[in-house]
Amino acid sequence: MKQHLDLATTVVKQLIKSGKTVSVAESLTGGGLGAAITEVAGSSEVFLGGITTYSDASKNKLLEVPKRTITKYTAVSEEVAKSMAESVRQLFKSDYAISTTGVAGPGKAYGKSAGTVWLAIASKKECVAIELSISGDRATVRNATIESALATFSRILLS
């Protein structure tokens, strides 16, 4: 989508200018965030990699999100989003990491309504998480999550 490409281009340019790198851990976006970033020419200078952990078991096994955290808070939570971001940042040794987790729909999951999304952005200094509530069908929720992740990350890079 054009909006993704514009936002991703901005992010890649900001990262190149600052000499920083990023990695991603995705669940509901299914690799779409990493795809949006790598669509930009020059992204290989700043994008170190990504992992799609769609199941709870893969979040635990690949990203070492503690089972007790997933059980206590569910995969669609601030705690899991932060753990995903912090883990993938450490795994790739990137300056920043972005994670996405949520319910794309159409039905509920983990007792949460479709459109419930958590994003987290980790750096060496901090990890911030944002909850979103997005209306629309599955594709709309996924696309809006990617756009929100890129826009939020761009704002963080500018601050």
What percentage of the chain carries pLDDT values higher than 90?
95
pLDDT at 3: 67
Helix locations, the chain, DSSP H: 2-18, 32-38, 56-63, 67-73, 78-92, 138-158
Residue with tokens 């089972």: 67
pLDDT tens for residues 59-115? 999 999 999 999 999 999 999 999 999 999 999 999 999 999 999 999 999 999 999
Answer whether residue 2 shows pLDDT above 80: no
Tokens for 30? 């299914």
State the Cα–Cα distance between residues 53 and 50, nearest whole angstrom. 10
Q: What distance separates the 2 farthest-apart alpha carbons in the chain?
A: 42
- Phi, psi (deg, nearest 5) at residue 105: 100, 180
Q: Where are the domains of the chain?
A: 2-158
Q: 2-158 belongs to which CATH class?
A: alpha beta
Mean pLDDT of 117-146: 97
Residue whose token pair is 């996924």: 142
| First-to-final CA distance of the chain | 26
Beta bridge partners of 122: 97, 127
Average pLDDT estimate for 115-137: 97
Q: What is the pLDDT of residue 1?
A: 58
Q: Do the beta carbons of residue 48 and residue 22 sit within 8 Å?
A: yes
